[in-house]
Amino acid sequence: MYFSKYHSGLCFIDRGMGNLEISGKGSISASDTETWNQYESWKEQCTVLTVYDGITAICVGVLEQFPNMVKLRLPKSVTRIDMTDELNTLFHKNDVLVHAAYGSYGDTVAQNNGLRFLPENIELAWCRDEEHDESTKLVLRFYEDGSMDLLYDIFTSGISAGSNGGASLDRPMPEEYYPGCTLEEFADMFSARYHEQIINNSELKIFLRREAERKNKDK
């Protein structure tokens, strides 16, 4: 872990295997990447850069310091990235994959600069069953190969999601699903208890619109 010399609370967490995470609050300037007790080539070794929620802006000269970056994960809190010719060249030379939520600034960066985009998973709905003391979270998941599936994250008394008790259930997309389906059609593919939340999901609306646009382009 490397702490910034000039930005209190800002740190860079080296997870190994090229994975670097940035944690802190507010905007990051180029000088903020000067750290204490840093490994000599830590920036060059980074291939996957994850920015944590709390960072709001990435100023000129920050991302340019990671020449081997091939994947950039951006939180919803980021609302500005200062683009430069050098950064644009780096993005396209490395064919950088932007991982961000639909409708976020990261999504805009990917779309405006013609970069590959991996959507963050979409939490479609959450439902509580008092009778059985059970809560279920329904999540639409996306993968780098372009595939999708569903996660039913079930919480019950004495069982935590993801435990050996089998509280997390992976399911394929509904058989009725097809690119270009309407929001109403998509919502009808699930239990009625999820309907209102699915209909009002802003990220899902963007996803379905993009799927329809992609289908029309392929015709």
Per-residue pLDDT tens over the stretch 127-157: 988 887 889 999 999 999 999 999 999 988 7
- For residue 151, the surrounding DSSP H or E stretch is strand 148-156
Burial class (CB in 10 A: 0-12, 13-18, 19+), 219: exposed
Q: What is the pLDDT of residue 158?
A: 61
3-state helix, strand, coil in the chain (%, to 5): 25, 30, 45
Predicted structure pTM score = 0.92
Q: What is the mean pLDDT of residues 58-76?
A: 99
With 60 as the cut, is the pLDDT of residue 165 above it?
A: no
Query: For residue 188, what pLDDT band results from cuts at 50, 70 and 90?
Result: very high
Q: What is the pLDDT of residue 63?
A: 99
With 50 as the cut, is the pLDDT of residue 7 above it?
A: yes
